[in-house]
Structure 1
Amino acid sequence: MHGSGSGDEPGASAGSGVDHEFLALERELAVFLRRARASSGEMAREVHPDLESAAYGLLVRLESTGPQRATDLAAYFGVGKATMSRQLRALEVLGLVVRANDPDDGRASLVRLTDEGLARFRTVRDARRGRYARKLAGWDRAEVAELARLLQHLNERTGS
């Protein structure tokens, strides 16, 4: 990687004031995110042909945390209540999630994966994990652990 201010990063403007390392990071994250969105769409369709790609993340969250309030899900994903409500309705219609009364607050409900939703999600998730393992098979395990640590650090710093 080039040092700061070297001026030879493709696409870098001389007066941008941004270090080349940050420009390279921005470029690589943009590629990574484009690929992740495409992959998320593919995985969503594998769970159910009518599942929106954005809703796949809801399944990931519900599987990892267990039942959640819709308002907590909306806050976690940084979307409005109406958007979350629409996505959850679509998942309910597909039989992937169900709402139940919150035992701690009778006015609220919790969203959880159905048995069918959990089974479909885990099948797709396990296949995805296998693809990651194959793609990173040549990496040293310490490198994989370091990448995970750095991504976690980035997520913690850039989250809401």
Structure 2
Amino acid sequence: MDGSGTGHEPGGPEGAGGDEAYLALERELAVFLRRARAQSGELAREVHPDLEPAAYGLLVRLDEAGEQRATELAGYFGVGRATMSRQLRGLEDLGLIARTPDPADGRASLVRLTGEGRARFRRVRDGRRARYVRKLADWDRAEVAELARLLHQLNTRAEARD
């Protein structure tokens, strides 16, 4: 024991960057992210056959947070204004979002889901939730809640430190 009370030896696997718990976490996150990217494409196509996979996240954000400026959305997703503008134009062309003048600044506009966009998005979201319920049917509710809590904690820390 190293005297720190952690049970880890100095210069051992942790010191060498080889802690099995972190390697396992990295491995499982890589699988999770690969599946999430594939699922995002599937969900986007369910909303509209011509919807880009990356744009699905915009629908999630607009449904959760309500109308926002394009610059706020770009900042939230960490993309440039040109990228955001292109994605929003695609959503607008599909009739999933609309822009209205921002009353606080006439030069800017607010982006919101249209009724059609909200209905399509929520149908897909509800279907996805039903799939989670089926896949995790043998889990205890407390386990599902704990997983959600831990993922929230991971996301919060990742956003605060990046």
TM-score exceeds 0.5: yes
Count of matched residue positions in the alignment of Structure 1 and Structure 2: 151
Cα distance in 1 between the residues matched to 2:27 and 2:143: 21
Residue correspondence of structure 1 range 62-141 to structure 2 within 5 A: 62-141=62-141
| Identical pairs, percent | 74
- Gap regions ≥5 residues in structure 2: 1-6
- Gap regions ≥5 residues in structure 1: 6-12
Cα distance in 2 between the residues matched to 1:131 and 1:78: 29
Amino acid at match of 2:76: Y
Amino acid at match of 1:60: V
Structure 1 moving runs of 4+ over 6 Å: none
* Deviation of 1:137 (Å): 0.8
- TM-score normalized by the length of structure 2: 0.88
2:3 is matched with none
CA-atom RMSD in angstroms:
1.8
Deviations 1:67-116 (A, max 9, x none): 01111111111111111110000000111001101122222111000111
Cα distance in 2 between the residues matched to 1:91 and 1:19: 44
Amino acid at match of 1:151: L
Cα distance in 2 between the residues matched to 1:133 and 1:19: 33
Residue correspondence of structure 1 range 1-80 to structure 2 within 5 A: 16-80=16-80
Question: For the Cα contact (< 8 Å) 1:4–1:20, is it kept in 2?
Answer: no
